[in-house]
């Protein structure tokens, strides 16, 4: 198997065969094209990259670090300990902090318990009606946005890739949450001064490509046991692995087309308020995070 570009021995084949050096160049150029196409960044932006320590978020951090001089923006990295035993890896903080130290990237760290000022954080998952991953994701979004704003960042970047986008789409479509579907774009604009824009630089990248990128770049990762690419048992992952075997180009074609269309559903336009307790933006008088905190 030969690299399609340099004709040396290839070490990866997803949609085409590449040697490590050509794959890294190909990967970074695709992200650069996405940034230009969707104007994800502007000169002078301060972007907070949310890094869990896994392959996707560290790929996002690495590629944004590589491109920051070209686009003239600043970056910082936030590592957030979710305080869930199955998800918290004692190596994670060290791995992410070392990654930032080697590149001179400002590193920030906090945890659910510390940031929300809850000593017994496990109770918040017990009182929530959502599944543990849903509650975790909701709290992450709350902290990412608020922490970024408090530390003078003007955009939030996450490592969501094509696999995540397509799974979110079908889960929400099946449940009738059409307003969520239309947010699954490379760029989610702000709808309130307290809500920062979000960018997804890996929107057109596959999970397996992110894994290859960190492998070829020799970047150490520390994965969550529940979210690991190799151990997940989610039925949607099984469905898309089956599709991959039959239609390898399906995911990338799907997200590229999804980015170009607007999904309009029967959802009524929501009114937004500042939470009466914390001041963050919510469609209720009291936001979900403060509501959960009040129950424990």
Here the CATH number for the domain that contains residue 220 is 3.40.50.620
Residue 201, in any domain of the structure = yes
Q: Is the dihedral of CA 232, 162, 27, 40 positive or negative?
A: negative
Residue 157, in any domain of the structure = yes
Burial class of 18 by CB neighbour count within 10 A (0 to 12, 13 to 18, 19+)? buried
Question: CB count, 10 Å around CB of 233?
Answer: 7
Please calculate the CA angle 124-128-129 and round it to the nearest 5 degrees.
165
Q: How many CA atoms lie within 13 A of 181 on its CB side?
A: 21
- Domain limits at 53? 33-294
| Maximum Cα–Cα distance across the chain | 62
Residue 18, in any domain of the structure = no
**pLDDT at res. 119:** 86
How far apart CA 38 and CA 25 sit, in angstroms, is 20
Residue 240, in any domain of the structure = yes
- Region for residue 117 given its phi and psi (left: phi exceeds 0; alpha: psi -120 to 50; beta: otherwise): left
Residue 214, in any domain of the structure = yes
Strands (E), 176-237: 187-188, 198-199
Q: Is 100 annotated as a binding residue?
A: no
Residue-by-residue pLDDT tens, the chain, 296 positions: 999 999 999 999 998 999 999 999 999 999 999 999 999 999 999 999 999 999 999 999 999 999 999 999 999 999 999 988 777 777 899 999 999 999 999 999 999 999 999 988 889 999 999 888 889 999 999 999 999 999 999 999 999 999 999 999 998 888 887 777 778 999 999 999 999 999 999 999 999 999 999 999 999 998 766 565 555 567 888 899 899 899 999 999 999 999 998 876 665 577 899 999 999 999 999 999 999 999 98
* β-bridge partners, 48: 76, 156
Query: How many domains would you assign to the chain?
Result: 1
* β-bridge partners, 13: 17
How far apart CA 155 and CA 87 sit, in angstroms, is 26
Q: Is 275 annotated as a binding residue?
A: yes
Residue 158, in any domain of the structure = yes
Residue with tokens 């996707």: 56
Q: Give the pTM.
A: 0.93
Q: Return the CA Rg of the chain.
A: 19
Question: CB count, 10 Å around CB of 202?
Answer: 31
Strands (E), the chain: 12-13, 17-18, 46-50, 74-81, 107-111, 155-157, 187-188, 198-199, 273-274, 281-282
Q: Is 287 annotated as a binding residue?
A: yes
Q: Is 278 annotated as a binding residue?
A: yes
Query: If residue 164 lies in a helix (H) or strand (E), which one and from where to where?
Result: helix 162-175
* β-bridge partners, 2: 9
How far apart CA 81 and CA 95 sit, in angstroms, is 13
Residue 183, in any domain of the structure = yes
Residue 6, in any domain of the structure = no
Q: Is 290 annotated as a binding residue?
A: yes
Query: If residue 171 lies in a helix (H) or strand (E), which one and from where to where?
Result: helix 162-175
Which tokens sit at 185? 């774009």
Q: Is 136 annotated as a binding residue?
A: no
- Region for residue 83 given its phi and psi (left: phi exceeds 0; alpha: psi -120 to 50; beta: otherwise): left
């Amino acid at each position: 198997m030969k690299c399609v570009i340099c004709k040396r021995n290839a070490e990866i084949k997803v949609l085409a065969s590449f040697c490590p050096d050509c794959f890294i160049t190909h990967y970074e150029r695709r992200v650069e094209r996405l940034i230009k196409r969707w104007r994800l960044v502007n000169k002078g932006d301060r972007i907070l990259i949310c890094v869990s320590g896994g392959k996707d978020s560290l790929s996002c951090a690495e590629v944004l670090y590589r491109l920051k001089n070209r686009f003239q923006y600043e970056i910082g990295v936030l590592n957030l300990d979710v305080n869930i035993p199955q998800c918290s890896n004692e190596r994670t903080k060290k791995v992410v902090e070392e990654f930032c130290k080697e590149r001179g990237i400002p590193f920030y760290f906090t945890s659910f318990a510390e940031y929300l000022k809850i000593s017994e954080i496990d109770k918040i998952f017990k009182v929530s009606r959502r599944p543990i991953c849903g509650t975790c994701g909701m709290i992450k979004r709350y902290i990412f946005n608020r922490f970024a704003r408090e530390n003078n960042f003007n955009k939030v970047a996450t490592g969501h890739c094509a696999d995540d986008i397509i799974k979110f789409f079908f889960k929400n479509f099946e449940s009738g949450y059409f307003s969520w579907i239309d947010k699954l774009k490379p760029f989610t604009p702000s709808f309130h001064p307290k809500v920062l824009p979000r960018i997804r630089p890996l929107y057109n990248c596959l999970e397996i490509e992110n894994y290859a990128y960190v492998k070829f770049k020799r970047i150490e990762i520390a994965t969550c046991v529940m979210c690991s690419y190799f151990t997940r048992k989610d039925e949607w992952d099984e469905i898309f692995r089956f599709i991959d075997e039959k239609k390898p180009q399906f995911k990338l074609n799907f997200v590229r087309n999804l980015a170009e269309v607007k999904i309009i559903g029967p959802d009524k336009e929501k009114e937004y308020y500042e939470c009466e307790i914390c001041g963050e933006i919510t469609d209720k008088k009291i936001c979900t995070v403060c509501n959960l905190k009040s129950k424990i």
